[in-house]
């Protein structure tokens, strides 16, 4: 009998333990369901926050402000280029003239050879001979012969004058080129086509506009600054454009004109029209006179 009672008590204890376990399991399941719901809600909240953070980060990187500022600067640069274009054309006409002049200087010097070095000796001999002596040498007209020989000195003087005048133009050209190369190094497109000729204003404006459009659209990549952009980082992004905008207004210390060009072109034309004695005649005069 006692043994039966003991077994009943043990069974009751087990039932109580089972009941408690079931209650605990129910509580755990309820907590688990709530935790799943909480995790989902928190997941949605986190995603919303992340999206907002991305929006704020994008705004704080000042990409939109940078694009707008670039547009303003490029617009002003384009206007400055238009204002300066006639001077750019003027300087490039001088570039072309100096190229022609240098070629003609080299050709003329080759044609002259050592003529200028012996002209004065030949003239001295001619001026110290009587007309009869000259006639014996085969020279019938002293003055005409001297004038013909002097053509070598005239050409030499014209070449020296052209060298001086082109040097003055080249100084202005070099000053302009140095300034423009500095602008190119900051991002301004070049002025020449593939053949090395100056673009028309329409062609160059199109080139600048294409370059500007691409730059405005591109995302700044300044080693990707950590954290929100600062005023300094914004300035760094457009510093080159500020440089171009300011310096393009000062491409020329004095606006170029065609005074030096005309003088050099006049001298070049005189050289092209000038005729030296033929090589055959010159050789003959040297043999007769010297």
Which pLDDT tens digit goes with each residue over 151-201? 999 999 999 999 999 999 999 999 999 999 999 999 999 999 999 999 999
pLDDT of 267: 97
pLDDT of 65: 78
What does each C-alpha distance from 182 to 19, 186, 243, 247, 254 come to in angstroms?
89, 7, 10, 9, 19
**Cα-Cα-Cα-Cα dihedral sign, residues 259, 264, 270, 273:** negative
* Integer Cα distance of 151 and 115 in angstroms: 10
Residue 226 burial by Cβ neighbours in a 10 Å radius (0-12, 13-18, 19+): exposed
* Integer Cα distance of 234 and 79 in angstroms: 23
- For the stretch 196-251, pLDDT in tens is 999 999 999 999 999 999 988 876 554 445 455 566 777 788 899 999 999 999 99
Does pLDDT of 73 surpass 60? yes
pLDDT band at 150 (very low <50, low <70, confident <90, very high): very high
What does pLDDT average to over the chain?
A: 84
Domain ranges of the chain: 1-60, 62-289
pTM: 0.73
> In the structure encoding, which two tokens stand for residue 184, read together?
């190119």
pLDDT of 35: 58
């Amino acid at each position: 009998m006692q043994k039966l009672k003991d077994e009943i008590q043990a069974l009751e204890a087990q039932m109580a333990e089972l009941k408690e376990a079931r209650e605990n399991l129910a509580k755990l399941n309820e907590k688990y369901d709530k935790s799943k719901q909480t995790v989902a809600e928190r997941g949605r909240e986190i995603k919303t926050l992340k999206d907002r953070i991305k929006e704020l980060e994008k705004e704080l990187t000042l990409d939109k402000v940078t694009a707008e500022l670039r547009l303003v600067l490029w617009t002003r640069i384009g206007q400055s280029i238009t204002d300066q274009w006639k001077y750019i054309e003027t300087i490039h006409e001088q570039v072309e003239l100096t190229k022609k002049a240098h070629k003609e200087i080299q050709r003329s010097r080759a044609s002259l050879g050592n003529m200028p070095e012996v002209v004065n000796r030949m003239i001295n001999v001619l001026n110290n001979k009587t007309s009869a002596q000259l006639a014996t040498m085969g020279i019938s007209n002293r003055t005409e012969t001297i004038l013909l020989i002097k053509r070598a000195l005239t050409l030499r003087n014209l070449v020296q004058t052209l060298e001086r005048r082109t040097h003055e133009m080249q100084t202005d050209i070099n000053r302009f080129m140095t300034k423009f190369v500095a602008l190119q190094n900051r991002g301004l497109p070049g002025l020449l086509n593939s053949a090395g000729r100056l673009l028309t204003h329409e062609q160059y404006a199109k080139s600048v506009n294409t370059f500007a459009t691409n730059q405005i659209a591109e995302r700044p990549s300044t080693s990707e600054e950590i954290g929100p952009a600062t005023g300094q980082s914004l300035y760094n992004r457009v510093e080159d454009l500020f440089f171009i905008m300011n310096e393009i207004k000062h491409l020329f210390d004095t606006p170029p004109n065609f005074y030096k060009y005309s003088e050099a072109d006049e001298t070049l034309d005189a050289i092209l029209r000038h005729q030296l004695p033929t090589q055959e005649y010159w050789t003959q005069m040297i043999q007769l006179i010297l």
